[in-house]
A = this chain, B = another copy of it.
Amino acid sequence: MKILILGAAGMLGRKLLSRLAAEGLGGAAVTTAVLHDVVDPAPASPLPFAVECHSGDYAAPGAAEKLVAGRPAVIFHLASIVSGEAEARFEEGYRVNLDGTRALLEAIRALPDYRPRVVFASSLAVFGAPCPEVVDDDYLCAPSSSYGVQKAMVELLLADYSRRGFIDALALRLPTVCVRPGRPNAALSGFLSSLMREPLNGEEAVLPVDEAMRVWIASPRAAVSYLLHAASLDTGPLGARRSLNMPGVSVTVGEQIAALRARAGARVAGLIRRAPDPTVARVVGSWPQRFDAARARALGFVGDADFAAILDTYIAEELGGRLPAP
Interface residues of A (CB under 8 A from B): 90, 128-129, 137-144, 146, 149, 152-153, 156-157, 159-160, 163-164, 240-241
Interface centre among A139, A144, A156, A163 (most CB of B within 10 A): A156
Which B residues are CB-close (under 8 A) to A138? 139-140
Cβ of B159 and Cβ of A156 under 8 Å apart?
A: no
Closest chain B residue to A137 by CB distance?
A: B140
How many of these chains are in the complex? 2
Measured CA separation A141–B155 after assembly (Å): 11
List of B residues within 8 angstroms of A146 by Cβ: 160, 164
Contact B156–A143 (Cβ < 8 Å): yes
Q: Is the CB of B160 within 8 A of A149?
A: yes
Beyond A129-B240, A139-B140, 18 extra complex contacts between A and B, CB < 8 Å: A128-B240, A138-B139, A139-B139, A140-B140, A141-B141, A142-B159, A142-B240, A143-B156, A143-B159, A143-B160, A144-B240, A146-B160, A149-B156, A149-B159, A149-B160, A153-B153, A153-B157, A156-B156
A-B contact pairs, 30 of them (CB 8 A): A90-B164, A128-B240, A129-B240, A137-B140, A138-B139, A138-B140, A139-B139, A139-B140, A140-B140, A140-B141, A141-B141, A141-B156, A142-B159, A142-B240, A142-B241, A143-B156, A143-B159, A143-B160, A144-B163, A144-B240, A146-B160, A146-B164, A149-B156, A149-B157, A149-B159, A152-B156, A153-B153, A153-B156, A153-B157, A156-B156
Q: Which residues on the B side are within 8 Å of A153 (C-beta)?
A: 153, 156-157
Q: In the docked arrangement, what's the CA distance between A159 and B144, Å?
A: 9
Task: Kindly state the separation between the CA atoms of A230 and B258 in the bound complex, as whole angstroms.
Answer: 50
A164–B160 Cα distance when bound, in Å, is: 28
Q: In whole angstroms, what is the CA distance A90 to B142 when docked?
A: 26
**Inside 8 A of A129's CB, which chain B residues have their CB?**
240
Inter-chain contacts of A149 with B (CB < 8 A): 156-157, 159-160
- Within the assembled complex, what's the spacing in Å between the Cα atoms of A301 and B140? 22
Least CB distance from A163 to B in Å reads 8
CB contacts (< 8 Å) of A139 on chain B: these are 138-140
Q: In the assembled complex, how far is the CB of residue A282 from the closest CB belonging to chain B, in whole angstroms?
A: 11
Q: CA–CA, A120 to B39, complex, Å?
A: 41
Distance between A283 CB and nearest chain B CB, rounded to angstroms: 11
Chain B residues lying within 8 Å of A137, measured Cβ to Cβ, are: 140
Give min CB distance, A61 to chain B, whole Å. Answer: 15
Shortest distance between the CB of A123 and any CB in chain B (Å):
14
Please name all residues of chain B whose beta carbon is closer than 8 Å to the beta carbon of A159 when the two chains form the complex. Answer: 142-143, 149
Question: Which residues of B have CB within 8 Å of A144?
Answer: 163, 240
